[in-house]
Structure 1
Amino acid sequence: MLARLLQLRRILRLSGRKFSFSSNPNPDHNLQPSAYTKPLNTTINKLFKERDLDKLVADFQLASESYRFRCRHNIYEFTVRRFAAAGRLDAVESILEHQKRFAADLTHEGFGARLISLYGKAGMAANAVATFNQLPSLGSPRTVLSFNAVLTALAASGDYPCVVSTFHDVPAGDTSIIPNLISYNILIKALCEKGDLDAVLDSLVLMEKNGIFPDLISFNILLKGLYENKRFSDADNIWNKMAKENIQPDIKCFNAKIRGLVSVGKTSEAVEILDEINQSGLKMDIFTFNAFIKSYCQVGNLEQAKLIYMDLIKNDCAPNKETFTVLIPSLCEAGELDLALRLSKESLSRRCSPGSEILQGLVDGLAKNSKLGEAKKLVEISRANGYSGKSIRLPFSCLAV
């Protein structure tokens, strides 16, 4: 038997076709030989490098005839994001609608959910909803997985009222779909973004009534929303609920509380929370440091803000765009241009620049204070980091110097 298989493999090799000893049927049997005899990684690398977007659509559709290619989720997400960034939503639709022809894949709930999710990543919520509604006619089951995918797509588009209506309407019309913890977390976040905090608390009661209990992610979403909307009493109730249910808070929970307190000028109370963080065995992250830097800058206590920044560095915590966006303008306003320049250079080297307006403000300040050499250098560094001549430039009065 083995000898016959080896002979068959030699015959197929001479004819240019693939052969496998696998007992599974080859899902690529309908492909033209040129479409599936190329090594998969070669095909994917070619797609990554293709610059002609119209050709990329055609090549992607051809490659997706291969089942093995369709299992490589990263190339799908990369290509969809690339088309979306280029404003080619028609291309996104072309490659994703093409996938609906693979009926065998659509019998698995994950494939349909992935198409919905990819439409969501491209910001095409209407297509995501349409695909979700099409699933039964495509032979694909509508499950809580695809339900969560369409909720996520709607949330990503910012259509929070539609998230709420979809959450309630779909299970009401299809009793096979029962919202789970992920569904409720998406709903809670949408209601927080919508600013409907009373509905958020009602949803918390509803989910527990249905036998679904919030997890740490739920509480993080709740605390963030409550503190941002100055609902301190309700936030305290959430902390008590977490303690009662033995859910240990993480640094995100404490950060939400710190930001809430500093937003109403209660910085001293926020500082006291640092002891709770240390006692919990947690470590401050960049969002903790940024909250205090912003607070001290807002009240004009720049010295304390600088100390917080130095602590940030000592704790091996990398500053981010928000750090520099808050600190550099405050330094410029206080006349500390040398330190502002140093931080601007650091922000550019870290690829988290505060933006052209802030950098231009520093350039203007340096030029005005007879630091023309430093101003020119910052313009040069900015240009080297992708800023255009229109976004950052020397003041007109310095061009003739």
Structure 2
Amino acid sequence: MALVSASRFRSALLHQLLQFSSASTFAAGGHAFDPEIRRLAKFQRFTDIEALLEPRKLNLPFDSSSREPYLASFIIAYASAGMLDHAVRTLDELPRLGSSRTILSLNALLSACNHSKTLSTRVPDLFSNLSRYHSLSPDKISYGILIKSLCLARDSSKALSVLKEMDNKRIEITAISYTTIMDSLYKEGKPEEADRLWKEMRAKGVAPDVAAYNVRAMYWAVNGGPDDVLKLIEEMKADGMEPDIFTYNYLMTCYCKHGRVDNAKRVYRELGQNGCEPNAATYKKLLYSLCKNNDFVGGLEVFEDCVKHRRVPDLGSVMALVKGLMKDSKIRAAKRVVTGLRKKFPEEFSGSWMKLENVVGLSNDEKVPEVES
């Protein structure tokens, strides 16, 4: 769920950026998502990134209201590349570059730091120092990003203190912030505190969304049984919400954990009826779980669906499937799995993937008929 929460904060920030500018204007300055900048950052070619970005700062939109979102994209790009000094400098430069400087730009910086592997621990200090230095009043998004940073550091106690601060300042506490802390509390082994926070959120009239329910579903999938997850699903529906693919992934994993693979396969086959499509996690977790339960025929069905939808399956799960099929004397099926992967994903089929050929006794150019006799 951490990835889900992170994407929700990113979406919230993007929405805030677009409120200041047209979508087309921001897209023109969306340097943080530029593949070339990501590639240069990967190889730590920071001088090249600076040479690429700095001249673009001068190409300001004619509309003054669009300038801050445009320049905020430079802040995001620099922070995402790990170039914090350049990001902070850009924030400082905004007035000189002919742009206003509002909390939007600070939020852009803080959010990008949270998405960086090395900068998320810097968010609390940046939040405090930069908002004070530039006389910016943090909003609900700022506080949400701060909470996310503290939870990434597994410091839910400080995150709870931030909620109290928001309450005192009468700043709206969103479902995202509550969900982020509950997720952290569950992962820290504090389910009682997480449940207390859930009740507090409901008591304050903050309506939970599907992601909030999924945090609880994830906990019960690991620490409870299928009936606990099903009860939560019924609670979601009574609250006017439909479970999403993440909810059903947790349910299927829980079924398999308790040896109820037929139930898991039934949920999988009914995903379309429930308005959901399998995602990468569905294929990976279900394939692994079915193989762990020695249901290699069911695993083969999931594998074939995965490849059909052009998703690269997890190597460990495929290895378990192939070995299981070989053990059950389904040698031809095992070989079809390997040749099918080699045909569908030739660029991916290298390195450790080549071990699959050894398991089934295939040479690099051997073909296997598609249909088993």
TM-score (norm 1): 0.73
Note the C-alpha offset of 1:92.
Answer: 3.7
- Secondary structure, counterpart of 2:58 in structure 1: coil
Output the amino acid matched with 2:349: S
Output the amino acid matched with 1:97: E
The higher relative CO (CA closer than 8 Å, separation ≥ 6) is in 2
Q: Aligned runs of 1:2-401 on 2, under 5 Å?
A: 71=25, 73-74=27-28, 76-77=30-31, 80-85=34-39, 87=42, 89-90=45-46, 91-102=48-59, 108-122=67-81, 124-158=83-117, 159-175=119-135, 177-386=136-345, 387-390=348-351, 391-392=353-354, 393-395=356-358, 398-399=361-362
Note the C-alpha offset of 1:184.
Answer: 0.5
More divergent stretch after superposition (305-314 vs 288-297): 305-314
Q: CA, structure 1 residues 114+381, in 2 after alignment: closer, same or farther (shift >3 Å)?
A: same
Note the C-alpha offset of 1:181.
Answer: 0.8
Q: CA, structure 1 residues 93+299, in 2 after alignment: closer, same or farther (shift >3 Å)?
A: farther
More divergent stretch after superposition (251-260 vs 303-312): 303-312
Note the C-alpha offset of 1:191.
Answer: 1.0
Q: Determine the C-alpha separation between the residues in 2 that align with 1:180 and 1:339.
A: 50
Q: Determine the C-alpha separation between the residues in 1 that align with 2:304 and 2:238.
A: 36
Note the C-alpha offset of 1:134.
Answer: 3.7
Q: Determine the C-alpha separation between the residues in 2 that align with 1:348 and 1:167.
A: 45
Q: Determine the C-alpha separation between the residues in 2 that align with 1:280 and 1:354.
A: 35
More divergent stretch after superposition (86-95 vs 341-350): 86-95
Note the C-alpha offset of 1:185.
Answer: 0.7
Note the C-alpha offset of 1:305.
Answer: 2.3
Instruction: Give the corresponding residue for 2:370.
Output: none
Note the C-alpha offset of 1:394.
Answer: 1.6
Note the C-alpha offset of 1:315.
Answer: 1.6
Output the amino acid matched with 2:133: G
Note the C-alpha offset of 1:170.
Answer: 1.3
Note the C-alpha offset of 1:287.
Answer: 0.8
Q: Which one has a bigger Cα radius of gyration?
A: 1
Q: Deviations for 1:343-398, whole angstroms, at most 9, x for unmatched residues? A: 11211222333322322332333334333322222222212332224314322672
- Secondary structure, counterpart of 1:312 in structure 2: coil
Note the C-alpha offset of 1:267.
Answer: 4.3
Output the amino acid matched with 2:333: E
Q: Determine the C-alpha separation between the residues in 1 that align with 2:68 and 2:37.
A: 25
Note the C-alpha offset of 1:121.
Answer: 4.7
Q: Determine the C-alpha separation between the residues in 2 that align with 1:233 and 1:347.
A: 38
Identity, in percent, stands at 29
Unaligned runs of 5+ in 1: 1-67
- Secondary structure, counterpart of 2:34 in structure 1: helix
Q: Determine the C-alpha separation between the residues in 2 that align with 1:163 and 1:114.
A: 18
Q: Determine the C-alpha separation between the residues in 2 that align with 1:313 and 1:218.
A: 31
Note the C-alpha offset of 1:162.
Answer: 0.2
Paired residues, what number? 332
Output the amino acid matched with 1:170: L
TM-score (norm 2): 0.78
What root-mean-square deviation, in Å, do the aligned CA atoms of Structure 1 and Structure 2 show? 2.9
**Is 2:255–2:264's contact at 8 Å kept on the other side of the alignment?**
yes
Q: Determine the C-alpha separation between the residues in 1 that align with 2:103 and 2:199.
A: 31
**Is 2:32–2:77's contact at 8 Å kept on the other side of the alignment?**
no
Note the C-alpha offset of 1:273.
Answer: 1.6
Q: CA, structure 1 residues 266+298, in 2 after alignment: closer, same or farther (shift >3 Å)?
A: closer
Q: Determine the C-alpha separation between the residues in 1 that align with 2:158 and 2:128.
A: 13
**Is 1:125–1:153's contact at 8 Å kept on the other side of the alignment?**
no
